């Protein structure tokens, strides 16, 4: 990815991939890496018009598919391989339930059912061993993982998440906000928070 900009001189790289694969997080890391000597900007969930408006800088964009803008190169971000997926689940589950322990194969099977998508893995792992008790034949979409996590919220936490999905600056109870952050439904960003578009879309539909 860095080679496209530093060596090949590409001015627009679009990070593509399925929802929940970590496009935004990856793009942010790339922009930080490029900040030393290259003026790069991040356009999250970009359109071709967004890219055209930033011809003054190197653009790292995220999108579900190619933008179709002149000079664009794409970088496909794929779901995690098995070992990193298991490690992510273990780390997240242990943070939620200190001392969490499960067999590698059991976690690997669950991650496979979750499509090895980082967001889905983090949402389920945030409940500790609870996700491992779900029927082993179930294959979860990202939306199903979000629904599973949402369905286990207390009513006041659902209200807080709904408010934040409409306006991330909305005032909510600090305890509810802390719980939403712990569960991975809301991500802190400096003084504020952000919500993944897939989570926002789900909340708007319920």
Instruction: Tell me what pLDDT residue 142 has.
Output: 94
Instruction: Tell me what pLDDT residue 160 has.
Output: 96
CA torsion sign for 96, 120, 205, 45 is: positive
Q: pTM for the whole thing?
A: 0.89
Residue 187, H or E segment:
strand 187-189
167 assigned to some structural domain: yes
pLDDT band at 48 (very low <50, low <70, confident <90, very high): confident
Q: Last residue of some domain: 59, 76, 93? A: 76
State whether 103 and 44 are in the same domain: no
Cα–Cα distance between 190 and 92 in angstroms, integer? 21
pLDDT over threshold 90, residue 179:
yes
Cα–Cα distance between 46 and 31 in angstroms, integer? 15
147 assigned to some structural domain: no
Q: Count how many domains the chain has.
A: 3
**CA nearest to 45, candidates 30, 62, 69, 68:** 62
Q: What is the spatial order of strands in the sheet that 40-43 belongs to?
A: 40-43, 58-62, 12-16, 72-76
Q: Last residue of some domain: 142, 167, 184? A: 142
Phi, psi of 193 (to 5 degrees): -135, 165
Cα–Cα distance between 156 and 67 in angstroms, integer? 39
State whether 70 and 9 are in the same domain: yes
State whether 136 and 100 are in the same domain: yes
State whether 182 and 197 are in the same domain: yes
State mean pLDDT over 17-26.
93
Instruction: Tell me what pLDDT residue 53 has.
Output: 77
Half-sphere exposure of 173 (CA within 13 A, CB side): 11
Q: Last residue of some domain: 61, 76, 91? A: 76
Instruction: Tell me what pLDDT residue 144 has.
Output: 93
Q: What is the per-residue pLDDT across 59-94, written as a single tens digit (0 to 9) for each?
A: 899 998 998 888 889 999 999 999 999 999 999 999
pLDDT over threshold 80, residue 56:
no
Which residue did the predictor score with more confidence, 196 or 50?
196
pLDDT over threshold 90, residue 102:
yes
86 assigned to some structural domain: yes
Cα–Cα distance between 45 and 116 in angstroms, integer? 21
150 assigned to some structural domain: no
pLDDT over threshold 90, residue 200:
yes
Instruction: Tell me what pLDDT residue 131 has.
Output: 86
pLDDT over threshold 90, residue 119:
yes
State whether 11 and 61 are in the same domain: yes
Do the beta carbons of residue 143 and residue 198 sit within 8 Å?
yes
Percent of the chain with pLDDT over 70: 100
pLDDT over threshold 80, residue 137:
no
Average pLDDT, the chain: 91
Range of the domain at 115: 82-142
- Token look-up 């190619």 returns 66
């Amino acid at each position: 990815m860095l080679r496209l900009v530093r060596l090949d001189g590409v001015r627009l790289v679009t990070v593509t991939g399925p929802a929940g694969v970590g496009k935004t997080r990856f793009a942010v890391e790339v922009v930080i890496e490029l900040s030393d000597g290259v003026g790069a900007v991040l356009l999250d969930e970009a359109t071709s018009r967004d890219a055209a408006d930033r011809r003054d800088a190197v653009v790292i964009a995220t999108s579900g598919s190619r933008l179709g803008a002149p000079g664009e190169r794409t970088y496909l971000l794929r779901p995690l391989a098995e070992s990193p997926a298991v490690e992510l689940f273990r780390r997240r589950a242990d943070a939620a339930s200190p001392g969490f322990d499960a067999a590698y194969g059991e976690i690997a099977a669950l991650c496979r059912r979750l499509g090895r998508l980082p967001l889905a893995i983090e949402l389920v792992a945030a409940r500790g061993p609870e996700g491992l008790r779900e029927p082993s034949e179930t294959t979860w979409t990202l939306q199903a993982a979000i629904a599973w996590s949402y369905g286990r919220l207390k009513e006041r936490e659902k209200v807080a998440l709904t408010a934040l999905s409409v306006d991330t600056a909305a005032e909510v109870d600090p305890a509810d906000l802390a719980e939403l952050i712990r569960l991975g439904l809301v991500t802190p960003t400096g003084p504020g928070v952000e919500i993944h578009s897939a989570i926002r879309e789900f909340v708007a539909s319920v």
